[in-house]
């Protein structure tokens, strides 16, 4: 019997279920979708560490520190190498065990060679993890992730368990707010509605991909819970500082007035029961709402532009081409007059096709995503273009550390135009 026959698949076993892209279902997909989105934001952190270690600046620092440790801390390089580098300071060589001596001296120096690399990796990890972890928390707390169904106007394609009671379920605060905003926009909107949606890629009852197409606020920075918490903490600190400064100035004024009255004032002294008037302004009581939080202004994208705001895939299944499947699906929904994902909608209810589709990425630490986008017709947008998306906190920081950092975390925008999509589709149909 061939031993490899035991590893062969059973021909009588049923085939695995096919992968399918379906609308997001909050009853079953919420936790896994948030996990995928968070993991996709954190994924460039490890890639940035690897890229930063092998930059010319890091390699030069590694070599310089290792050289100092070997020459100043240890006894120098092995005898053969030392006599080659420093002929004026030769080392004694054991003629009976030259190879053994060289190997022993080299093994002793291994920790000194690896120590600088570990220190550089630790510095890279410390900075990158802080940046991307904050960006991940901000992404998970943004308004679209707080209520995916309301923001992306998700319409489930097939009923799931528990969907029969959707009409009886209580409306969440964020969904009610979203419905009010949608009602106001429909009443007096100056721009027509654009296509949007959120879908997941499912294989063998496992969620391995998610994609969110934003047509309501394309290109805009969304409100995040993390930004609100930071703004509230900053306002509280400023309020406490202003309160302490006011108290100090009031005490100083009261002391000056007391000294003036005791030195020669003609005013009649008040009795012990006289009322006291405080000049200290009232401090905010506990529970006072912080100042209104405002987002950074960002230029809106041209009409007919959709934003691929969420794109997350499982790393284990990328070799199977799931990134291409999701990109092809979302491009068909954005540009096709009658997309397959909207067969249940009437033609007059479906918004007009988009003219371009934009997505943001970090090219230096997301090479796999950039290759997938390029394979599907996406092109880089010039900096400063009207289609250029605003920088995120991780990529838009302009501190001194960001300027001298060996890894570029600058965000770039890629665009897929409807004309390009039509030409590629016509070429594929030939």
Provide the CATH number for the domain around residue 378: 3.40.630.30
Angle between helices 26-53 and 98-140 (to 10 degrees): 140
Looking at residue 345, its pLDDT comes to 64
Residues 146 and 134 in one domain: no
Looking at residue 406, its pLDDT comes to 77
Any domain includes 279: no
**8 Å CB contact between 317 and 202:** no
Mean per-residue pLDDT pooled into runs of 10, the chain (430 residues): 55 76 92 94 92 90 92 83 78 73 84 93 92 92 92 68 41 47 46 86 92 91 85 81 69 56 47 42 41 46 92 92 94 87 65 92 92 94 89 62 76 94 85
Among residues 123, 138, 153, which one ends one of the domains?
A: 138
Domain range for residue 308?
20-26+142-163+191-225+295-429
Residues 83 and 146 in one domain: no
Any domain includes 377: yes
Residues 301 and 314 in one domain: yes
- Model's pTM, two decimal places? 0.72
What own/partner pairs with CB < 8 Å and gap ≥ 24 does 79-83 have? 79/105
Any domain includes 385: yes
Residues 6 or more apart whose CB falls under 8 angstroms from that of 303 comprise: 191, 192
Residues 6 or more apart whose CB falls under 8 angstroms from that of 95 comprise: none
Residues 203 and 64 in one domain: no
**8 Å CB contact between 36 and 210:** yes
Any domain includes 97: yes
**Could you give the count of Cα atoms lying within 13 Å of 417 in the half-sphere of its Cβ?**
8
Residues 345 and 207 in one domain: yes
Q: Order of strands, edge to edge, in the sheet holding 206-214?
A: 20-23, 197-203, 206-214, 305-313, 356-361, 412-417, 379-380
Looking at residue 269, its pLDDT comes to 46
Q: Which two tokens stand for residue 354?
A: 């988009």
Residues 55 and 197 in one domain: no
Any domain includes 259: no
- Cα dihedral sign for 285, 287, 289, 291? positive
Any domain includes 219: yes
Residues 338 and 399 in one domain: yes
Residues 205 and 335 in one domain: yes
Residues 6 or more apart whose CB falls under 8 angstroms from that of 16 comprise: 203, 204
| Number of domains present in the structure of the chain | 2
Residues 112 and 210 in one domain: no
Any domain includes 31: no
13 phi, psi to nearest 5 deg: -70, 145
**8 Å CB contact between 410 and 366:** no
Residues 117 and 203 in one domain: no
Residue of 15, 14, 22, 17 whose CA lies nearest to 325:
22
- Cα dihedral sign for 219, 223, 229, 233? positive
Residues 341 and 218 in one domain: yes
Residues 121 and 219 in one domain: no
Any domain includes 63: yes
């Amino acid at each position: 019997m061939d031993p490899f026959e035991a590893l062969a698949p059973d021909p009588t076993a049923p085939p695995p279920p096919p992968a399918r892209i379906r609308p997001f279902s909050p009853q079953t997909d919420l936790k896994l979708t948030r996990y995928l989105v968070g993991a996709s934001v954190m994924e460039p952190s490890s890639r940035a560490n690897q890229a930063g270690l092998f930059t010319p600046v890091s390699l030069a620092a590694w070599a310089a520190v290792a050289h100092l440790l070997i020459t100043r801390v240890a006894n120098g390089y092995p005898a053969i190498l030392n006599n080659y580098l420093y002929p004026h300071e030769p080392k004694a060589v054991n003629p009976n065990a030259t190879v053994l001596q060289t190997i022993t001296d080299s093994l002793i120096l291994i920790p000194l060679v690896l120590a600088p690399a570990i220190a550089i990796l630790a510095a890279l990890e410390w900075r990158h993890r802080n940046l991307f972890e904050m960006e991940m928390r901000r992404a998970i707390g943004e308004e679209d992730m707080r209520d995916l169904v309301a923001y992306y106007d998700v319409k489930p394609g097939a009923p799931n368990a528990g969907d029969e009671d959707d009409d009886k379920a209580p409306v969440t605060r964020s969904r009610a707010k979203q419905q009010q905003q949608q009602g106001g926009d429909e009443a007096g909107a100056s721009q027509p509605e654009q296509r949007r949606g959120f879908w997941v890629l499912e294989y063998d009852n496992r969620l391995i991909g998610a994609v969110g197409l934003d047509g309501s606020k394309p290109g805009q920075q969304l409100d995040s819970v993390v930004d609100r918490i930071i703004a509230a903490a900053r306002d509280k600190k400023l309020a406490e500082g202003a309160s302490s400064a006011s108290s100090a100035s009031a005490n100083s004024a009261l002391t000056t007035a007391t000294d003036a009255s005791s030195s020669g004032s003609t005013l009649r002294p008040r009795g012990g029961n006289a009322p006291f008037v405080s000049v200290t302004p009232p401090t905010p009581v506990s529970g006072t709402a912080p100042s209104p939080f405002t987002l950074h202004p960002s230029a809106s994208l041209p009409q007919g532009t959709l934003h691929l705001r969420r794109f997350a895939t499982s790393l284990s299944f990328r070799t199977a081409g799931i990134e291409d499947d999701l990109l092809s699906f979302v491009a068909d929904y954005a540009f096709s007059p009658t997309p397959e994902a909207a067969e249940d909608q009437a033609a007059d209810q479906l918004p007009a096709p988009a003219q371009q589709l934009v997505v943001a990425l970090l090219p230096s630490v997301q090479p796999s995503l950039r290759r997938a986008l390029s394979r599907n017709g996406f092109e880089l947008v010039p900096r400063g273009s009207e289609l250029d998306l605003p920088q995120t906190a991780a990529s838009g920081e302009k501190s001194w550390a960001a300027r001298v950092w060996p890894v570029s975390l600058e965000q770039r925008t890629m665009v897929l135009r409807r004309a390009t999509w039509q030409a590629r589709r016509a070429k594929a149909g030939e």
